[in-house]
Each structure stands twice: as C-alpha cells, then as structure tokens.
Amino acid sequence: MLKNKFKILAVAMSLTFVGSLFVGCGNSKSGTSSNGKSTIKVNIGAEPRTIDPGLNNSVEGAQVICNAFEGLTNLDKNEKPIPGVAEKWDISSNGLTYTFHLRKNAKWSDGKAVTAKDFEYAWKRALNPKTASQYAYQLFYLKNGEAYNEGKSKEDQVGVTAKDDYTLVATLENPTPYFLSLTSFPTYDPVRKDAVEKNPTSWATKPDTYISDGPYKLVEYKSKDSLNFEKNSDYWNSKNIKIDRIEFKTLENASSYYAAFKTGELDLIDKPPATETPNLLKNGTAKAYPYLATYYYDMNLSPQAKSINPDAAKALSDIRVRKALNLAIDRTSITKEVTKSGEIPATSFVPKGTSDSNGEEFTNKEYLPKTADIPQAKKLLAEAGYPGGKGFPQMEILYNTMQGHQNIAQAIQDMWKKNLGINVTLKNVERKVHLAQLQNHQFMLGRDGWTADYNDAMTFLDMFTTGNGNNMTGYSNTKYDQLIAQAKAEPDKAKRASLMHQAEDQLMIDLPIIPIYYYTEVVCMNPKLKDAHISNLGFFIFRDAHLDK
C-alpha cells in the first residue's frame, strides 16, 4: 500500500517537474515554436558522454550524431546503404578495394567543402591508439587498421587514402559483405582536422566548434537539459530537410518523460513506463519496432576485479558460479511481469532477427532456459563451494538511472535470494558515471545492452575479443579470439557463419555475461510527426521527417 502511494506521489512530482522544465520552450503541442519554425522535441534518455563521432559508443550519443553528421553512405528505411556524401562507388572484383566518389556540393556547417581528406583523417584518428576510441576495432576491417592501433604499423600504411579532394580509396584486410553499411556508422563519419585539433577535448561541446556535415547543426548545448540543433543550410540536400529544429532532451526518469509526452511537451520518446506499455501498444499510442539488441549483465572478469572485491572476483572466476547465476533467473517472468513490452527472453547472446550474412537468421540455438533451472543452479553453486549460498561474497549490481533498469535489478536480486540464497545490493548512478565505471572495470555485476551496428552476427560477437574497447567484462579466451579472426578472414559465407556459431558456442560456455532479453523498441510519437526513421539499429533518423499540418 505504501509503495502504491509513493508511486502516485512520484508521478505527481514528476508532472510538476516537467511542467517547470519546459517553460519558455515554445508550443511543441502544435509542432511549431514561437518563431514559426517547425520544431520537434525528442527524448534520448540521458545526456551523452560525448557526441564526438570518433569517441562515442553509446546509443544516446549516436542518436545525436546520426542527425548531425553524414558518412559516405546513409541507411534507407529498409536499413540498406544508399549514397550519402559519396554519390557513387566502385568495388574491385576481389572485394578488397572500395573507391568512393564524393559529392562536390557536400559542405560542412561552416560552408567549407567536405573532402576525402576529412574521411581519411577521421578514420586514422579513431584508429590512433592515442585517441583511445573504444570503437577503434570497427575500423580493423581496413588494411593494417588493427596493426596501426596496436603500434605495429605506421599511419601511412592504413588502408584509406584520399586520392584527391573527391576520391577516397579504402583497402580492406578481407572481403567484408557489410562494409557499405559500416560506412554509415558514426565512427566512419568525417571530422575536420582543424576543428578537432584546435580544441581536442572540448570541440564537441560547443556550437561554435562542433562543425558537422549532416542535416542539422548544433546551436545550443544545455548540460543536463538538452542538445538543440537547427537545420544546416549548408547541407548538400538542405532543400529536402523539412524539420527546422530538433531539441534532444535528456530526461532519464520514465515517469517524467512519459508525462511530458502526454502533455505534448515531447514529440517522441522510447521505453515508456512498463506499467503503461501494454495499454499504449493496445490503443496505438505506442508502436513496437524491430530492434537488433540484447539486454544483459556483465560479470567483471578483468584483473581490476581483484582490487575492487577479491572475494567476489574469486567467485566470478569460477564458471560454475557464472552458470548458476544465469540459470537462477526466470527470463520469461522478467519479460512478462517486469518489462511488459514484448521483449523475448534471451537464451543466447545474438538476438533473433540478426543475419548470418549467408541469407539465414543467425540465432538458432538456446543455450539458456527461458525459465529458471533452480535445481541445476543450486547444484553448481554448491559444487563451487557455496552450498545454499553459504559463504557467498557480497556483490553489487551497477545500473544507470532509469526505472526500468531498477525494476529488472530488483527482480534479479529477489530471484538470486530466493533461488540461490545469495544477497546482492543495487547501485544506481547517472549514465555518464555508469559508462565510465563499466569501461574502467569498476564494478562486479553491471547492467549493459548492445545494439547492432550493422545487421550481421559479427557486430555482437567481435566485441568480446581480448582487449576490445567495448568488452566491459575483461573476458579473454584465445580460442574465441582465433574463431573471430578466422570468421573475419573467411570469404565463404557458409564457413564464416559456422565459425561465428563456434565463437558463440565458446562465449556461452564461458558465460562472462548474463543475457536477459532481446529488446523491442517501443516508441510513442506525435501523430503529426511523419517519416521519422526508427532504425532497427537503435537510431532515430529525421532526414526525411516532416510535420503534418
């Protein structure tokens, strides 16, 4: 009873907060601000840690970048690569050399021409080990890309060259069937050398220095509030951009941003409160979109774990403990009773709907049960020296601020207590802190999620290779590394798919992670907002969007 009363009070407080938050922001209810410009307000769920294309590795940052920048290619509404800055390209018969021909009318937001040199600089910058880009591995497809990143090759040996201002030549290590899709990904976006190097640590935080080449340019950066963009009049296709202004709001509390949507102060939100979602889907206020993404927990297997909690590190180093923690979770219960948005219990890591690049769906195995296997979980925990949970060290689940994450963490906390007799505590931090602690391995159990960068199983598997910037677990297995390397070098699609399956087999034997569910993307959108592209890669793309009068 007290919980229900508190919830009502919290919603009332959030409505008051939202009302004060948007005072003076213009009339979003009509899709038009007071100055007559068509404006939409989009919630991205948290303030991005960075909106630097070469450094970002979060969905929040990507939501902004994909509207501010444009790569060699764009994705159409079927997620297929189409011309972007490159108006055409040639591919060599062996699939190793791509020659991109850039538009001569492509310009930066300050009016200067976008050139092939801007792409060459951006790609080599992301690969440079001094940059410390956690997405550097996404450019290892380039000839000598990985070698340069590891200090084993020189910059001028990397397989990307500006032949002239409007011709970029990319040479790959191996044929890569999804390379054109990769060139639409933020890490492959161009950045201007003069803008970056003049303000290397702050260029992506100020409108005067955040020079971009896409449909929108930054005009205001209000920390902990919003990132505001306006139409880039110098964009080569600006005449077809119909939305004049986008305000990316950074509300993390689901009750708050849902309340703002209901009052018309937000035009687009995703992940509405779980208690509201079934009715929102039923009455058409919300829509579930395809989404290639997995929600999971990391287990810290890195050397740093011992300095944080030696006893917990010892327990997690035992594969029987990791498997017991996995088996003690009722994933079906979480999706039906906690998240309630049509999610699918995750019995593997690569989600349903992901391609194997051989014309088939990759996910065809169930490594974990959809409901808890309590007897087996108890047996494994006892074999590891913790019968009935006795002597099991105290651990903490780290998650970022959002009611949904808290609800899931509480459900898992209860399941582990009931099913295994172990106690874990919960730690809630803001998104920037959460990302930093995951990346620095300053946790024992951490909430995580991964969205595909392109539609191929490799995007879910290669990040668990040793030393990968997005491998938050610190997991390292030589056999796994070799399988991923072989798959990337294998030209035969069937053999490549087989190698990737073997890699996932190994990952799910070692279990450095706790897969929980495959996402759905539930979005509430102003019915006046038309042709916004809700990508299955997690992006909201407004290049073709318009407001219905």
Answer yes or no: are the C-beta atoms of 162 and 114 closer than 8 Å: no
Instruction: Identify the weakest region by mean pLDDT among 29-33, 172-176, 330-334.
Output: 29-33
Is pLDDT above 70 for 9?
Answer: no
Q: What is the pLDDT of residue 5?
A: 34
| pLDDT tens-digit series, residues 457-475 | 999 999 999 999 999 999 9
Give, in order, the Cα–Cα distances in Å from 442 to each of 303, 308, 397, 462. Answer: 11, 7, 11, 22
Whole-angstrom Cα distance, residue 107 to residue 114? 5
Give, in order, the Cα–Cα distances in Å from 317 to each of 83, 151, 225, 377, 482. Answer: 48, 31, 41, 16, 22
Is pLDDT above 70 for 3?
Answer: no
Q: Strands 245-249 and 160-164: what pairing?
A: unpaired
Answer yes or no: are the C-beta atoms of 46 and 256 closer than 8 Å: no
φ and ψ at residue 93, rounded to 5 degrees: -60, -25
Answer yes or no: are the C-beta atoms of 246 and 217 closer than 8 Å: no
Residue with tokens 């009332």: 12
Pick the CATH number of 2-46+215-288+522-547 from 1.10.760.10, 3.20.20.140, 3.40.190.10, 3.40.50.720: 3.40.190.10
Q: What is the pLDDT of residue 14?
A: 40
What is the Cα gyration radius of the chain?
23
Whole-angstrom Cα distance, residue 86 to residue 104? 9
Answer yes or no: are the C-beta atoms of 231 and 40 closer than 8 Å: no
Single-letter amino acid code for the residue at 435:
L
Beta-bridge partner residues of 101: 88, 167
Nearest by Cα to 451 from 52, 56, 50, 125: 56
Q: What is the pLDDT of residue 199?
A: 94
| pLDDT tens-digit series, residues 196-250 | 999 999 999 999 999 999 999 999 999 999 999 999 999 999 999 999 999 999 9
Q: Mean pLDDT throughout 336-357? A: 94
Instruction: Return all residues near 180 (Cβ < 8 A) that are at least 6 apart.
Output: 73, 81, 89, 98
Nearest by Cα to 444 from 463, 422, 461: 422
| pLDDT tens-digit series, residues 300-337 | 999 999 999 999 999 999 999 999 999 999 999 999 99
Nearest by Cα to 111 from 268, 228, 233: 233
Cα dihedral sign, 197-203-207-208? negative
Single-letter amino acid code for the residue at 368:
L
Query: Using CB atoms within 10 A of its CB, is residue 36 exposed (0-12), middle (13-18) or buried (19+)?
Result: exposed
| pLDDT tens-digit series, residues 138-168 | 999 999 999 999 999 999 999 999 999 999 9
DSSP 8-state assignment for residue 474: -
Element (H, E) at 406: helix 403-420
Q: Mean pLDDT throughout 493-498? A: 93
Structure confidence at residue 13 as a pLDDT band (50, 70, 90): very low
Q: Strands 445-451 and 521-525: what pairing?
A: unpaired
Q: What is the pLDDT of residue 225?
A: 95
CB contact burial 339-375 (16+ within 10 A = b; e otherwise): bbbbbbbbbbbbbbbbbbbeeeebbeeebbbbebbbe
Element (H, E) at 428: strand 424-429
**What fold, for 293-519?**
Dipeptide-binding Protein; domain 3 (3.10.105)
| pLDDT tens-digit series, residues 83-129 | 999 999 999 999 999 999 999 999 999 999 999 999 999 999 999 99
**What fold, for 73-197?**
Dipeptide-binding Protein; domain 1 (3.90.76)
Single-letter amino acid code for the residue at 213:
D
Q: Domain boundaries in the chain? A: 2-46+215-288+522-547, 73-197, 293-519
| pLDDT tens-digit series, residues 349-389 | 999 999 997 778 998 899 999 999 999 999 999 999 999 99
Half-sphere exposure of 98 (CA within 13 A, CB side): 25
Answer yes or no: are the C-beta atoms of 236 and 110 closer than 8 Å: no
Answer yes or no: are the C-beta atoms of 348 and 433 closer than 8 Å: no
Whole-angstrom Cα distance, residue 101 to residue 119? 12
Q: Cβ atoms within 10 A of the Cβ of 268, count?
A: 22
% of the chain with per-residue pLDDT over 70? 94
DSSP 8-state assignment for residue 400: E
CB contact burial 62-78 (16+ within 10 A = b; e otherwise): bbbbbbbbbbbbbbeee
Residue with tokens 């929040």: 60
**Angle at the Cα of 524 from the Cα atoms of 518 and 528, rounded to 5 degrees:** 140
Instruction: Return all residues near 334 (Cβ < 8 A) that are at least 6 apart.
Output: 345, 408, 411, 412, 516, 517
Which 3 state secondary structure label does DSSP give 192?
coil
Q: Cβ atoms within 10 A of the Cβ of 536, count?
A: 20
Is pLDDT above 60 for 1?
Answer: no
Answer yes or no: are the C-beta atoms of 162 and 119 closer than 8 Å: yes
- Count, in order, helices (H) and strands (E) of the chain: 18, 23
3-state SS track over 136-179: HHHHCCECCHHHHHCCCCCHHHCCEEEEECCEEEEEECCCCCCH
Q: Strands 513-518 and 293-299: what pairing?
A: antiparallel
Q: What is the pLDDT of residue 37?
A: 83
Q: What is the pLDDT of residue 32?
A: 59
Structure confidence at residue 35 as a pLDDT band (50, 70, 90): low
Whole-angstrom Cα distance, residue 443 to residue 438? 7
**What is the average pLDDT value for the chain, to the nearest integer?**
93
Q: Mean pLDDT throughout 76-85? A: 95
The arrangement of strands across the sheet holding 513-518 comes to 344-345, 513-518, 293-299, 445-451, 395-400, 424-429
